[in-house]
Amino acid sequence: MPTIKYIEFNGTEHEVDVMSGTTVMQAALDNMIEGIVGECGGSCVCSTCHCMVDPAWTHITGEVNSEENDLLDIVDEREETSRLSCQIKVTDEMDGLVVRLPESQY
Amino acid sequence: MANVENCVIIGASHAAVQLMISLRQLGWRGSITVISDDPNMPYHKPPLSKAYLSGETTDEQLALRAAPVYEKLDVTFKLGETVAKIDRDGKSVVLASGEQISYAKLALCTGARVRPLPAPGTNLAGVHYLRTMDDVKGIKKSMETSKNAVIIGGGYIGLETAASLKKLGINVTVLEAEARLLQRVATEQVSSFFRRLHEEEGVEILRNTQASKLVGSEKLEKVFCSDGREIKADLAIIGIGVIPNTELAENAGLETDNGILVDEFAKTSDPDIVAAGDCTNHPSKIAGKNIRLESVPNATEQAKAAAASICGTPKEYNELPWFWSDQFDVKLQIAGLNEGYTDTVVRGDIENGRSFSVFYLKNDKLIAADCVNNLKDFMFTKKLILQDQVIDKAALSDETVELKSLLT
């Protein structure tokens, strides 16, 4: 089971075991990690599950898709490696993945 | 356990799950008991008519939270159980089984139920409503052998269902009692767009007519319409709206009026009872009056306020309402409430295209927008509405002007 590390804006770290096949967003909700809201439940319509993927992992988490890109465009704190975590499906290869969370999802 | 305070939550959907999580986050140390007549563990409702119906989403993916979450939250579930009454004097709820559960705090997340179709034949095999996971399991079973479906009701649920079935190769006819689709919730322009979309995709839309009789020997065979038409069908799905579940509250003497009446802190007329989600009628500063909403963002945000009230740290619920719907390749997002609009502005090609926005203005201020395949417009619209300032209409309609530039 892959392990994902979430780092909140204030530096708090959460290392959690995650089932392959779920999303980085759902795994955060399932572990009650504050900082991911997921208002739309992962339908890619709200941009409240924004995270920044550690640069060492972007080749594994893949590219931003076009709908996701539109939503990220309006996020205040968008960075080079910003993603919507509902669009990252967890695979075995992602064992050790590190994502940082923004100060606010609104 | 006897002296541990118990919070009882009636209902186990979006509002209930957010409420239990928020309770623990805010430090509720008592026990939490969740009672629901739905036998399934909490699941996402919006995909039911979309990805779950079409088979893209599995049962596991439909779960609102993974099972271990509820263990961590230390929640006791009583699923498949009906609450018979609330005894406010004795501070307990009584189940249909006779079991009595006492509460220190009570949260009503009772949701809404489908409006029944007033026509004979709705008990036939092949005739379904669509509200719960089990409803959709039933539909999927019927779908295995069906070729011709009639969707009764041209609202969001009906249209989403029509799109899901059509994509799976089933012939679909939609019956709408009113003169246009989405009559209650959308403006004429947007209704016309959805009619065009469905017709382009091969769905037959019949307006100004309703199902007067469903007929078959054991299984549905035909739908008779009020205009005399007869439609051959082996599957019918009824989506003609919902009714808020207020009876428990009403019988307990709580104030109700098209929903359980709550204040901006999600409190009912009883200080120990809160309510959240589709079942509530609540004040909205943005709308300038009391409203009842049927939406997930409303359920979760109001549930946070309800949990805060229970924990004695009140937090006002005053969010901008928003909604979404997926049909074929179209993603509709609605920001705000357009009621009382005095003017509309269209941005993009609503006549022929599948990507545009319709803005609703009141006294030259933006109050709402319907955005079709236009995620960016939608996100900026939310900000522009909250800005609450007179807006440049020419700029709104001009696609070369970025909405971002209108933010002050």
| In a domain? residue B96 | yes
| In a domain? residue B402 | yes
* Residue B96 near chain A (CB below 8 Å): no
Q: What is the pTM of this model?
A: 0.94
Supply the range of the domain harboring residue B169.
Answer: 127-238
Test A71 with B296 for CB contact under 8 angstroms.
no
Nearest CA in chain A to B70: A30
* Residue B46 near chain A (CB below 8 Å): yes
B27 and B76 in a common domain: yes
CATH number, domain of B226, equals: 3.50.50.60
Q: Which residue has the higher pLDDT, B105 or A106?
A: B105
Within 33-92 of A, beta carbons closer than 8 Å to B belong to: 34, 39-41, 43, 45-47, 67, 70-71, 73-74
CA nearest neighbour of B280 among B270, B300, B294, B296: B294
Contact list, A70 vs chain B (CB under 8 Å): 375-376, 379
B271 and B354 in a common domain: no
| In a domain? residue B42 | yes
Q: What is the mean pLDDT of each run of 10 residues along chain B (408 residues)?
A: 80 97 95 98 96 92 92 96 97 97 98 97 97 98 96 97 97 97 92 98 97 96 97 98 98 98 98 98 94 95 97 94 94 94 96 96 96 91 92 95 89
CATH number, domain of B402, equals: 3.30.390.30
* Residue A30 near chain B (CB below 8 Å): yes
How many independent structural domains does chain B possess?
Answer: 3
| In a domain? residue B2 | no
Q: What is the pLDDT of residue A46?
A: 86
Q: What is the pLDDT of residue B404?
A: 87
**Which of B217, B238, B259 corresponds to the end of one domain?**
B238
Q: What mean pLDDT comes out for the span A90-98?
A: 97
Distance between CA atoms of residues B305 and B328, nearest Å: 35
B107 and B21 in a common domain: yes
Q: What mean pLDDT comes out for the span A41-63?
A: 93
Q: What is the pLDDT of residue B184?
A: 86
- B113-154 pLDDT tens trace: 999 999 999 999 999 999 999 999 999 999 999 999 999 999
Nearest CA in chain A to B64: A41
| In a domain? residue B119 | no
B65 and B26 in a common domain: yes
On whether the CB atoms of residues B347 and B376 are closer than 8 A, the answer is: no
* Residue A19 near chain B (CB below 8 Å): yes
Q: What is the pLDDT of residue B2?
A: 44
Contact list, A45 vs chain B (CB under 8 Å): 324, 331, 333, 375, 378
| In a domain? residue B183 | yes
Beta-bridge mates of residue A103: none
Residue A32 binned pLDDT confidence (cut-offs 50, 70, 90): confident
Written as one letter, the residue type at A48 is: T
Considering only the beta carbons, identify the residue of A19, A22, A43 that sits closest to B324. A43
B207 and B61 in a common domain: no
pLDDT higher than 90, residue A74: no
Q: Are strands B83-87 and B322-327 parallel, antiparallel or unpaired?
A: unpaired
Distance between CA atoms of residues B178 and B311, nearest Å: 46
C-alpha count within 13 angstroms, C-beta hemisphere, residue B232: 5
| In a domain? residue B319 | no
Contact list, A41 vs chain B (CB under 8 Å): 44, 46-47, 64, 296
Strands (E), B71-146: 75-79, 83-87, 92-95, 100-102, 105-108, 112-114, 127-129
B102 and B132 in a common domain: no
- B332-353 pLDDT tens trace: 999 999 999 999 999 999 999 9
